[in-house]
Structure 1
Amino acid sequence: MHEVLRGLDFCFSYLDDVLVASSSEQEHFDHFKLIFQRFDEYGIVINLDKCCKAEVQFLGHLVNKDGIYPPPDKVTAISNYPKPTTVKEVRRFLAMINFYRRFLPNAAETQIPLLKYQKGNKRNDKTPVVWSPEAVNAFEKCKSDLVNATLLAHPMENKPICVMVDASDNAIDIVGPLPSSDGYAYLLTCIDRFTRWPEAFPLENITAEKVAEVFTRDGLHGLVSQAK
């Protein structure tokens, strides 16, 4: 599929799924014409049952005109995940929850008690986990935060993006809300950072908030130019 759509930079394909990003309804129709021409050239047949949907699932996310959110079946599966009994199972749980990390404010801070189980252990370590009250609370909060995860709004062209950063001795959190004309702020993305290794930055009078600003430039990529 990558070869079929080569050069069409408005397409994002994975296996037989193709996501098309356009800035207007007319441009969207024009993009589809180009895609259909390519499909015709390569003899690709479209499954009509998968067309004309108000909402689509793409790479483990549901996407509609309002934004992006985790599929309910994935949320249910993770929320029903039993308490891990080994370090390996803790890693597996964290991998599942972190797939939807950008929907979860303060994820790094919340996960600290669980991450401590991984310190110094190998990836497939089957060492039994001795649960502390803090770790149990963190495990349950991870699941409840995902259940209550908000929809992430699509970026709006020519609209400013507000960036709010917070930091502690353990973690850095960045939240990118999007202001709107109705007075509400819509969540664009959540970014956080947790590392077991010390990191140094050549900044004068460095503070945790300043380090968070550095990560913002990397985490928001091209959107940072709209941020304020």
Structure 2
Amino acid sequence: MLGPLFNILNGILGDFSFCVCYVEDILVFPSSKEKHLYHRCIVLDRLQQNGPAVLYDKCTSGTNEVSFLRFCITPKGVHPILEKVAAIQSFPTPSTLKALQEFLGMIIYHHCFLLAIAATLAPLYVSLKGKPKDLKWGPLQEDAFCDAKNAQSTAAESTLFVIRTDLISLVPAFTRHSGIWSAHQRRHLSTVAEYYCTLQHVPRKMNPIADALPRHIGRHSPWIGLQHLGRSPTKRSRLPHLSVGRTSLSMTLIPPSSVTSALRCIVHMHVEVVRSLPTSQEHCYLFTIIDRSTCWPEAIPMETATPTSCKSALLPRWIVISGIPDHITSNRGTTFTSQLWTSLANLLGITLHLATASNTPASGMVECFHRTLKADL
């Protein structure tokens, strides 16, 4: 029932720029005390007109500090809720696999406040690799456990930072109605909105830092990626004339032997298996692949979700056409932790990366592709 309730509240209060709704929580954030009283009356009147009731015991009004979702919001910034930090600090040293998984889940809950926490927790995740029956705890795991606790206790408060852009249409992005944005733009804006930031417009002439890198590359590091121009003597003789004249474009010849490495763009890709699909011609699974640099997706139908089926889908439909990638990221399912899949990666010289559970930065690209794919199906 949480989904329908969220849609109802968002439909009732979604047009207010001073109000945020998430499931059954409503946050009103005016800029002054007078506006707070006025905005609070508007929100209560709108709720009374449409039916939802508010429990008085759960309401907080006129405060400078409020706990909303997993954050404690104050005029100084955003930081973790102290009660949850205290629960992590008092967590005993894990003695079982389940206790270790509970501790990792508690730490990941506040991962946005912890710098490079994945590297700190790496020894703990190694202890869970391969589905062991007993927990192996040594000095390396003990140091990682203590470092994670220290990182949580010393997490600094988030301060407001300003994003300056010369694109004036981007400044009111967080206050304009979401219906005018495409799905791709909404995904990027929702990611930016998770940070405590504000957008500020600066003229293009006053924004030289952002334009310095592309201008520097365009002036001093030009290159041409057309291999046949380097081989054809007739077209090679015409190249000097292309770089002469009043133009910002310039070209330089590169050896044909280096073109192959320059054009190699399939370096890192994400793979996953989509299940619970209606059967079509005896196929009820999809093996999805998406390139990390070009965002090119592929969806290959399969009859089963075994490692053999995934191998048969990967080799002819991707590697034969696009080449062998350097890295492959997947979830920790039995398909991608099997001996067959690991042996195939070792044979082809591919480095496998297993994403942790509920880690959106690691698997968000393929999950967005799945969302669009299932909506079309």
Q: Is the 8 A contact 1:110 1:141 kept in 2?
A: yes
**Structure 2 equivalent of residue 50 of structure 1:** 60
Q: 1:63 is paired with a residue of what secondary structure?
A: strand
**Structure 2 equivalent of residue 20 of structure 1:** 28
Q: 2:106 is paired with a residue of what secondary structure?
A: helix
* 140, 153, 173: which one aligns with 1:147: 153
Alignment-mate amino acid for residue 40 of structure 1: Q
Closer/same/farther in 2, CA of residues 27 and 8 from structure 1, 3 Å limit: farther
Instruction: Please state how far the C-alpha of 1:112 moved relative to its aligned partner.
Output: 0.5
Q: Is the 8 A contact 1:78 1:143 kept in 2?
A: yes
Instruction: Please state how far the C-alpha of 1:132 moved relative to its aligned partner.
Output: 1.9
**Structure 1 equivalent of residue 94 of structure 2:** 84
Closer/same/farther in 2, CA of residues 141 and 177 from structure 1, 3 Å limit: farther
Q: Give the whole-Å Cα distance in 1 for the aligned partners of 2:67 and 2:144.
A: 29
Q: Give the whole-Å Cα distance in 2 for the aligned partners of 1:106 and 1:140.
A: 15
Closer/same/farther in 2, CA of residues 29 and 153 from structure 1, 3 Å limit: farther
* 135, 138, 150: which one aligns with 1:132: 138
Q: 2:11 is paired with a residue of what secondary structure?
A: coil
Q: Give the whole-Å Cα distance in 2 for the aligned partners of 1:69 and 1:4.
A: 26
Instruction: Please state how far the C-alpha of 1:71 moved relative to its aligned partner.
Output: 1.7
**Structure 1 equivalent of residue 13 of structure 2:** 8
Q: Give the whole-Å Cα distance in 2 for the aligned partners of 1:159 and 1:20.
A: 26
For the pair 1:68 / 2:84, whether they are aligned, the reply is no
Instruction: Please state how far the C-alpha of 1:19 moved relative to its aligned partner.
Output: 1.6
Alignment-mate amino acid for residue 105 of structure 2: A
TM-score, scaled relative to structure 2: 0.38
Q: Give the whole-Å Cα distance in 2 for the aligned partners of 1:108 and 1:90.
A: 15
Q: Is the 8 A contact 1:4 1:38 kept in 2?
A: no
Q: Is the 8 A contact 2:13 2:46 kept in 1?
A: no
Instruction: Please state how far the C-alpha of 1:117 moved relative to its aligned partner.
Output: 1.4
CA RMSD of aligned residues (A): 3.8
Q: Give the whole-Å Cα distance in 2 for the aligned partners of 1:46 and 1:91.
A: 36
Q: Which moved more, 1:142-151 or 1:29-38?
A: 29-38
* 110, 122, 130: which one aligns with 1:120: 130
Instruction: Please state how far the C-alpha of 1:72 moved relative to its aligned partner.
Output: 1.6
Q: Which moved more, 1:34-43 or 1:68-77?
A: 34-43
Give structure 2 stretches of 5+ with no counterpart. 166-194, 198-269, 273-289, 295-324, 328-360, 366-377
Q: Is the 8 A contact 1:56 1:62 kept in 2?
A: yes
**Structure 2 equivalent of residue 163 of structure 1:** none
Instruction: Please state how far the C-alpha of 1:67 moved relative to its aligned partner.
Output: 1.6
Q: Is the 8 A contact 1:67 1:153 kept in 2?
A: yes
TM-score, scaled relative to structure 1: 0.60
Instruction: Please state how far the C-alpha of 1:53 moved relative to its aligned partner.
Output: 1.1
Q: Give the whole-Å Cα distance in 1 for the aligned partners of 2:67 and 2:95.
A: 32
* Structure with bigger RCO (C-alpha 8 Å, 6+ apart): 1
Q: Is the 8 A contact 1:21 1:28 kept in 2?
A: yes
Closer/same/farther in 2, CA of residues 202 and 13 from structure 1, 3 Å limit: closer
After TM superposition, the structure 1 = structure 2 runs for residues 119-198 of structure 1, keeping only pairs within 5 Å, are: 119-121=129-131, 127-156=133-162, 159=164
Q: How many residues align?
A: 171
Closer/same/farther in 2, CA of residues 177 and 138 from structure 1, 3 Å limit: farther
Instruction: Please state how far the C-alpha of 1:57 moved relative to its aligned partner.
Output: 0.9
Q: Give the whole-Å Cα distance in 2 for the aligned partners of 1:134 and 1:47.
A: 50
**Structure 1 equivalent of residue 117 of structure 2:** 107
Closer/same/farther in 2, CA of residues 134 and 13 from structure 1, 3 Å limit: same
Q: Is the 8 A contact 2:94 2:100 kept in 1?
A: yes
Q: 2:26 is paired with a residue of what secondary structure?
A: strand
Q: Is the 8 A contact 2:111 2:117 kept in 1?
A: yes
Alignment-mate amino acid for residue 36 of structure 1: L
